[in-house]
Amino acid sequence: MTTGQPTRHRPRSRATRILLILAAVVSAVAVLAVAVVAVLLLRPPGPRPIFQMPVACGETWQLGTYPGHDDFDVDLFPTEGESWGRPVLASYAGRVTVAGINGSLGGRTPEDPDGPRGRGGGYWVKIDHGGKWETQYLHLLEPPLVRVGQRVEQGEQIGRVGSTGNSGAPHLHYEQRQGWQKVEAYFDGEPSGITHDDTEYTVNRTSNNCGTETSR
Ligand SMILES: [Zn+2]
């Protein structure tokens, strides 16, 4: 069908052609990027690393949870001696992805243990162990001893136990994650038994995080 109007094909200018090519290239790169991200997200996680307890070799600590904590969250208290300042160790080798403040610090210190509570995790560290496995360590006493991007070995000290953030008493709040999901913490290949926060639950375990000497 014709309208009687002659169709005029105006030759595209050089600038228009370059723009069209650029647009095509940009879309191709965007599609590729989305595909890469999708593949990374859908990739199955790697095998569970043999995590060790995040505290000194040979020490026995109480692992516990309570209603309202959150499923799989583990709070650690030493069965002997003070909690304040105890070394916090990397559960497994990896790369530090967070080392800073979560929420607000508050004012709970060894000198003022009942000082104002902060919010969230206080000083905290997150380590990427590869294969989508991560661990995190909350309520540290002082700024973490590691920085983002740093490679850490299993057993390397990353901080000290404190009570920053939303913490009632000095302790270490600890999580193991697979992708975005928290999972039951395993230590030395054994499940911790801490799977839900329906009831208060505690269990004592002795750390076998003995591979590397504490660096500080
Ligand atoms: Zn906790």
Give the DSSP per-residue string, 30-75: HHHHHHHHHHHHHSPP-PPP----SS-TT-EEEEEE-TTS-TT-EE
- Range scoring the smallest mean pLDDT among 36-40, 115-119, 153-157: 36-40
pLDDT at residue 76 above 70? Answer: yes
Burial class (CB in 10 A: 0-12, 13-18, 19+), 192: buried
- How many Å lie between the centroid of ligand 1 and the Cα of residue 29? 43
pLDDT at residue 192 above 90? Answer: yes
Torsion of CA 21, 25, 28, 34, to 10 degrees: -140
pLDDT at residue 5 above 70? Answer: no
- How many Å lie between the centroid of ligand 1 and the Cα of residue 89? 17
The pLDDT assigned to 212 comes to 53
H, E, C per residue of 144-203: CCCCCCCEECCCCEEEEEECCCCCCCCEEEEEEEECCEEECCEECCEECCCCCCCCCEEE
Q: Under 8 Å CB-to-CB from 166, ≥6 apart: which residues?
A: 103, 106, 117, 118, 119, 120, 121, 122
- How many Å lie between the centroid of ligand 1 and the Cα of residue 21? 54
Whether the CB-CB separation of 155 and 90 falls below 8 Å is answered with yes
pLDDT at residue 1 above 60? Answer: no
The pLDDT assigned to 115 comes to 97
Structure tokens at 43: 């990739």
The pLDDT assigned to 213 comes to 46
Between CA 163 and CA 169 the distance in angstroms is 6
Q: Under 8 Å CB-to-CB from 183, ≥6 apart: which residues?
A: 72, 176, 177
The pLDDT assigned to 8 comes to 64
The pLDDT assigned to 166 comes to 97
pLDDT at residue 45 above 90? Answer: no
- How many Å lie between the centroid of ligand 1 and the Cα of residue 12? 65
Between CA 44 and CA 50 the distance in angstroms is 18
- How many Å lie between the centroid of ligand 1 and the Cα of residue 3? 76
The pLDDT assigned to 36 comes to 87
Averaged pLDDT score across all residues of the chain: 93
What number is the average pLDDT over the span 41-66? Answer: 94
- How many Å lie between the centroid of ligand 1 and the Cα of residue 32? 40
- How many Å lie between the centroid of ligand 1 and the Cα of residue 116? 17
Under the banding of pLDDT at 50, 70 and 90, the label for residue 108 is very high
Q: What predicted TM-score, i.e. pTM, was given to this entire model?
A: 0.82
Among 182, 163, 181, 183, smallest CA distance to 173 is for: 163
- How many Å lie between the centroid of ligand 1 and the Cα of residue 141? 15
